[in-house]
Amino acid sequence: MDPTRVGVDFAVLADAAHAMAGKLYVLGGGWDVLRVPRFPAVHHTMAIGMRISVPWTETDREIEMAVMLVDEDGSELFDRGPVRHKFRVRRPPSLPEGTAIGVVRALTLNNIRFPREGSYSYQLTIDGEDVSRIPFRVAAVPTPPAPPGSVPGE
């Protein structure tokens, strides 16, 4: 990561995430396989928790972050385009010159549609530059076999 540019220190997929008072609270985080019963699938809620590093020289200006969901062919899957978030990081007067500022963010994503089994990734950009990718797979949960002696359909 270039220390002169805004970047992502880490980003993690989670069942839920919340950023408050400089801390990132993550529930069910760190997974890379999403299991669904069938395709197409709609996953009702997932989150991305992240820590963004803002260099001294990049504070006190508007920063635009965008998140896109792409499939293994590179096609974007959000119907309305990337999720965009603009923010500004204020430089505290007591911060030593040249010190980067870490900022935590949490993004909750609802009703995400996955058309087929395969590899996907969330692509994070800051000010139009690719800064991080979070790869994961979406797989069908195997249907358990019927117990011996059972009658199908009953």
Domain boundaries, the chain: 7-140
Cβ-based burial of 49 (10 A; exposed 0-12, middle 13-18, buried ≥19): buried
Mean of per-residue pLDDT scores for the chain: 92
Bond into 92 cis (ω within 30): no
Q: Are 8 and 132 in contact (CB under 8 A)?
A: yes
What is the structure's pLDDT at 140? 94
Checking if the pLDDT of 95 tops 90, the result is: no
Binned at pLDDT 50, 70 and 90, residue 154 comes out as low
Instruction: Please determine, for residue 15, whether its predicted confidence score (pLDDT) is greater than 80.
Output: yes
**Coil/strand/helix, residue 67:** strand
Top-tier CATH class for 7-140: mainly beta
Other C-beta atoms closer than 10 Å to the C-beta of 138 total 20
Mean of the pLDDT values across residues 77-101? 91
pLDDT digits (tens, 9 = 90+) for 37-85: 999 999 999 999 999 999 999 999 999 999 999 999 999 999 888 999 9
Q: Quickly count: other Cβ atoms within 10 Å of residue 52's Cβ.
A: 24
